[in-house]
Amino acid sequence: MSLASRFAPRSPVLRSDRPLLDDQIRAVVPSIFAETPHESRSQRYSYIPTATVLSELRQEGFLPFMVCQTRVRNEDRREYTKHLIRLRHASQINGDEANEIILLNSHDGTSSYQMLAGQFRFVCQNGLVCGDTFADIRVPHKGDVAGQVIEGAYEVLKGFERVQEARESMRAITLEAGEDDVFARSALALKYDDPDKPAPVTESQLLVPRRWDDRKSDLWSIFNRVQENLVKGGLTGRTANGRRQRTRPVQGIDQNLRLNRALWMLAEGMRQLKS
């Protein structure tokens, strides 16, 4: 299932380890606060500003920690373009991981409201995104949009119970010798899917832990090692013509979400095979 919107690399983005305030958000992602829809929208377009939804989500305990909007060529669309917010519930931001709602929307008709299940791992400051198995809710711009979005947010929260179960199940599964290589090789194919351009790094490089706690052989630890190495980059590799290079971090929001979701579903598949 495709995302409702695309975000180019180097899109305006703001992250924080504390809940973001409106003034902070507005300075980087003004499209969240558009007061009217873009002039291209017809009267049938049910307009509910994202700022209104954000306000209601805050009242329900969901707080924004990251925002982004896509780059535009036409400045007249800058105040209306596609944007993304990652929110955590106040009751779930303690501990090693925090569940997140990923909200996407636009005010120019280029996307519906879309909500995805996500997770934030504090130890590596890296956002995991769960696959279609758990939550992918879309709300068209018609009818009671705000009410549907709030209802959808709680549907995503319910899905996190299954995320927790899957995570604990992955922690209880030990991968045998060679199975971790198969997982890492499959993960490489998800990012480097051009048969004419071999991956610049090997599966063994993806399996190298960046911290002591990840030096375990359970599926959850291996999944996190592979995911972090692919997303953060910085691995030394070689191009097809043998030139040395360092892998780049995945900076495009759309690419990041797609890769994260694909990796989660790969881990889910391994979990089901081993259960």
CB-based burial of residue 255 (10 Å sphere; 0-12 exposed, 13-18 middle, 19+ buried)? middle
224's tokens? 């996190």
Question: What is the full per-residue pLDDT of the chain (275 aa) written as tens digits?
Answer: 333 344 555 577 888 878 999 999 999 888 888 776 655 665 555 666 788 888 888 887 889 988 988 776 666 666 667 888 988 877 766 666 777 888 888 776 566 677 777 777 665 556 666 654 455 666 665 666 667 777 777 777 777 777 778 888 999 999 998 999 999 999 999 998 877 788 899 999 999 998 887 889 999 999 989 988 998 888 998 877 778 888 988 876 667 778 888 898 899 999 999 98
Domain borders along the chain are 13-163, 179-274
96's tokens? 């090693």
77's tokens? 């669309």
pTM to 2 decimal places: 0.67
Question: How many whole angstroms separate alpha carbon 239 and alpha carbon 252?
Answer: 21
Nearest to 158 by CA among 79, 68, 89: 89
